[in-house]
Amino acid sequence: MDAKRYDRIRDLFLAADELPPEDQRAFVEAEANGDAELVQEVMSLLGEHDPDSARAEGENAMPVTSPIDIPTSAPMARSTQSPPAKQSPPAKQGSDDDTKRGDDDQRSEVPQKADPRPARKTVSPSEITQHGGALRTHASPRDLETDRSHHRSSPSDILFAKKSRRTQRVNSGWLFLAAVLPTAIVGVWTYRSVEQSVRIALHNELTGVADSVSLAAGRFMDDKAQLVQSWSRQTQIRNSILELVEFAETKPSIDELQAAPQSDRIKVELQTLSANKSVHFIVWNPAFTTIATWHEDRSNVGRPVLPQDASDVAKALRGEIVMFGPKRMDNMTDSYLPKIDRPVMACIVPIFDDQREVVAAMLVSGIGFYDQFNQLILDASNRNGLDAYAVNADGMMVSESRNATSLASRGLLDFAAEEIADRLRVTDPGFKLDQDNVARVHRRAMPLTESVASATLAESNVRLDPYNNYAGESVVGGWRWNSDWKFAVIVEKGVREAFAPARIVWSSFLLLGSLLSVTAFLAANRLARRSMIDQVAVHPLSRYEIVSELGSGGMGIVYRARHRQLGRDTALKILRGDRQNKEDRLRFDREAKLAASLSNPHSVMIYDYGRSEEGEAYCVMEYLNGLSLGEVVARSRWQPVGRVLYVIRQICEALIEAHSLDLVHRDIKPQNIMLSFDASVGDWAVVFDYGLAKPLSPDSSTYQTSEVVWAGTPMYMAPERFRSPTNMDPRSDVYSIGCVAYYLLAGRPPFAECDPESLFALILSETPIGIGIHRGEEVPESIRKLVARCMAKNVDDRYQSVAELARAIDLIRDDFPWKIDDAAAWWKQYGD
C-alpha cells in the first residue's frame, strides 16, 4: 500500500464515520467506484471503530509537541500504515521493539472530535511510528481505561466473580490496616536487621575457618617438605646417592646397578630417621633413570620414569620440592609407588652435589603423609561444624569430607565412604541427591560447583549468596587457594543452618501476622468463601490454578497456570472481555483450531479449548519455559553459525508440517520462537503464536474471518506480502526464516526504520547490510548464500519450499557443528 491509497482509505473512513451506521456501506460503495477491496478495507476499519472509546482515548492522550499533523479519527489497530512522516529520523539498527506482542497490538491515539470535519493535532515522529506500527489482525482494546484495568486485575478477578472479594475488603480492610500492617512493618525491619547481622557473622566465620584450615594445611606441607629435604642432606644418604649417580655414568649393566649396595644403605638410614620400617623411597638421576629403590628385588632399577610421572621428577631436577598427591595408585600400572587402597602422598626433593648442582631427585613416601593431612581437614570440619575438604587443580576432592562420607554411607555416591578421596569430582548435579535421582548423576559431564570452579582458577573468596554443592544442597562457603602446593581448602555450610536465626525471626512474625489476619478476615472469609466455592465449582477453568500473568495482547491475556490434579504447568490464554464480538471470537477459535492440528514437537501444543457458561473463551497451551530468540540475542548478541543452523533446522521442521497441511504461519519472527535447553539434545526450538496463520485453501471446516490490509510484523514480512496482502504463498515463510537467520547471525534485524514507509521501501527494494559487518568478522560464503536466497525479493529466486531449505541446511551443517556441550555452556552462562 502506498501513501496515496492510504490517504484514500483514511478520507473515506473519516467521511463515512460521520454518517449513521446503516448508511455507511452504501456511501462507501458509491465513493469506491467499484473497488471491492477498498470497500472491504474501509468497512473493516469502521467495524472496529468505537467513537465513545476514541473520545476517551483522546482525553487521555499524551501531551505532544512535534509540528506533524495527523487526523484525530485515524483508523484503529487495523490501519496498516502510519500517515507519512515528513522528517522521521531512522531508528537505530537492531531496534525491533515494535515486534513485541504488546506493541503489535497497540493502536493509534484518537482525540475527541470537535466538529463534523476531522480535527487535527500535533504529535512527534516517534509517536507516529509507535502508534502507526500496529500491523496485526488482532484488534486492540477499545478503551484505554479498560486496557489498564485489565493489567491491574488479578487472574482470579478475570476468571471468577469479584463480589465476595469486594465484600471481604470492605468489612475487614480497616482492621487489617490497624493490626496487620504495623506488625508487618516491624517484622520486615527486624528481619532485615537480623539478616544483616547474620550475614556479617557468617562472613567472618567462613573467612576465619577457611583461613585457619588453609594456613594449617599449608604449614603441614611446608613441614613435611622441610623434613624430607633434611633427610636428603644427611651425609650417609647424600653420599650414597652421589656414588650411585657417579656409578651410573659409567654405564653399568642393569644387573650391576641393581646389585649396588647403596640402595640398602639409603633404606636403612631412612628407616632410622623416620622411625618407620615401611618407608618407601626412589632415586632418579638427571637421565630420568631409576638408580635406587626400596623394593627388595630392585626390579625397577635401571628403568626410565613413566610419562605420567616425568613432570614431577623434572621439577625436582630443576631444584623444586614437589608434593605428589594425594592420589590413588590402584588403577595405575608400573608406577613408582605401590598400589594400595588409600590415597598416596609423597615428597620429591632435589639432591645437590658439592657445587650445589642438582644431580638427582629422591621421592619419600609410606610414612603417613596422607593420613595426617586428611585428619587435619577432618578435625577442622568437626571442630567448626562445617563441611571442610581439600581439592586439587582438577577439581577432585583429595580429603574425606564429613558430608561426603555421610552421603556415601547412604548410597548416594558411586563409591564407598573410604573411597571418596581422589574419586569424587566436586561437580554440581543440578538437583538435590536422593535415592530416586542418584543414577542420573554423571559427574564427568557436569560443571564444577561455584566454589571449586573459582578455587581451581587460583581464586580465594567467600560467597554468601546460596549455590549448590556436590550433593545439590544449597550452601554458602569460603575457599582459599594455596599457590605453593597447588591445592585449595573449601569450607561450606548449609543455607538453612547458616540463616537459621533470621528464619526464626521471620517465621515468628509471619505466624503473628497470620494469626492477626485470620482474626481480621474470619467473618468476611466465611461468606466470601461460600460464594467463591459455588462459582469455582461450576467454572470450566476451576481445575487450573493461576500462577502469574505472562503477558497481554490485543486478543487476550495469557497466564501461567497449573493443572490441579496433574501438576502440569500450562499457558492459559483468555479472550479479553472487551474483545467478545463475533469477529474476534471466530479469530480466537481459528487460532486454537489451526494450532491444535499440528503435532510436530517444534510447534506449540494445544491441550484444551472451550467457553464457560459466561461466554469466556479460553485456550490451554503448552507452557514454553525458555527464552525467545529475541531474548537470546539480547543476552549474547550474534550467535555462532552452527547454533543458527541447528535452530533454523528445527524451525523448518515445524513449518514443514504446517505447510503440508496447507497452513502458512505468516508471522515468523524471533519473538514467536522459544528456545530452551534439553539435556538430551541441547537447544530446543518451539514455534508458537498461530494467530495469524492462514489456510492456503480454506474450507467449511475452518473458521473464516475477514482479512484486513496487512497481518504480521513488518521487519520480517516478505516483499510480496506488502504488494498483495491476501495472497497466500508458503515461500513468504521462507523469507521470514531467512530474516530470523540474519537476525541471529548479525545480532540485528535485516531492516530497521522508525518511519513505516521508509521501512517498506527498504524491504521492497534494498539488500540488507552484510552480516559480517555486524559481527566484525567474515561469515562463510555458504551461509551468506543460504540467507540471501531465503531473503530474495523475487519468490522464484528463493527456496521453493521449507523442505528444500531444510535439505540445504543439512548439506552444510556438518561444517559448522553445534554440540550439546556447546549449548549447555551457553545456557549456564546466559540462561538464568
Distance CA 647, CA 631 (A): 14
3-state secondary structure of 376: helix
Q: How many residues does the chain have?
A: 832
3-state class (DSSP) for residue 634: helix
The per-residue pLDDT for 298 is: 85
Cβ contacts of residue 621 below 8 Å, gap of 6+?
570, 571, 572, 573, 595, 604, 605, 606, 607, 688
C-alpha cell at 103: 506493541
Contact, 725 vs 712, CB < 8 A? no
Count of other CB atoms within 10 angstroms of residue 300: 15
**pLDDT (0 to 100) of residue 318:** 93
Taking a C-beta distance cutoff of 8 angstroms, is the pair 646, 600 a contact? no
Residue 826, helix vs strand vs coil? helix
How far is the C-alpha of 351 from the C-alpha of 374, rounded, in Å? 29
Within 259-327, residue ranges assigned H as helices are: 262-274, 307-317
| DSSP-based three-state secondary structure for 71 | strand
Q: Please give the single-letter amino acid code of residue 367.
A: I
Q: Distance of CA 386 to CAs 159, 424, 428, 449, 463, Å?
A: 50, 19, 19, 17, 15
Dist. CA 675–CA 624, nearest whole Å: 8
CA 754 to chain centroid, in Å, comes to 31
Chain center to CA of 227: 52
The residues annotated as belonging to the active site are 667
Cell numbers found for residue 581: 464480538
286 grid coordinates: 638427571
Q: Which residues pair with 677 in a beta bridge?
A: 683
Res 785: pLDDT: 93
Q: What are phi and psi of 248, to 5 degrees?
A: -65, -30
Distance in angstroms (rounded) separating the CA atoms of residues 255 and 585: 98
Q: CB under 8 Å to 136, separation ≥6 — which residues?
A: 77, 104, 105, 554, 667, 691, 692, 711, 712
CA–CA separation, 53 vs 107, rounded Å? Answer: 12
Cα 583 from chain centroid (whole Å): 38
d(CA 349, CA 742): 61
**Cβ contacts of 183 within 8 Å, gap of 6 or more:** 509, 512, 513, 516
* Strand-by-strand arrangement of the 617-622 sheet: 544-552, 556-563, 569-575, 617-622, 606-611
Beta-carbon contacts of residue 169 (< 8 Å; ≥ 6 apart): none
Query: Quick one: which H or E segment has residue 559?
Result: strand 556-563
Domains contained in the chain, CATH given: 3-134 (no CATH), 233-367 (3.30.450.20), 385-498 (3.30.450), 503-622 (3.30.200.20), 627-830 (1.10.510.10)
- Residue 665: per-residue pLDDT: 79
φ/ψ bin of 736: left (φ > 0), alpha (ψ from -120 to 50), beta (otherwise)? alpha
Q: Please give the single-letter amino acid code of residue 564.
A: R
Cα Rg of the chain, angstroms: 38
Is 573 annotated to bind ligand? yes
CB atoms closer than 10 angstroms to residue 380:
21
pLDDT, mean of each 10-residue run, the chain (832 residues): 66 79 85 82 70 47 35 33 36 38 37 38 34 31 38 46 48 60 74 82 92 94 93 92 91 88 91 90 92 86 85 92 85 54 89 92 91 92 92 93 91 86 91 86 89 93 93 94 93 89 73 68 57 53 82 76 86 77 75 78 84 75 87 92 95 90 83 90 87 53 41 69 72 91 92 66 78 89 93 90 94 93 93 78
Beta bridge partners, 467, equal: 475
Between strands 487-494 and 387-392, the pairing is: antiparallel
pLDDT on residue 532: 52
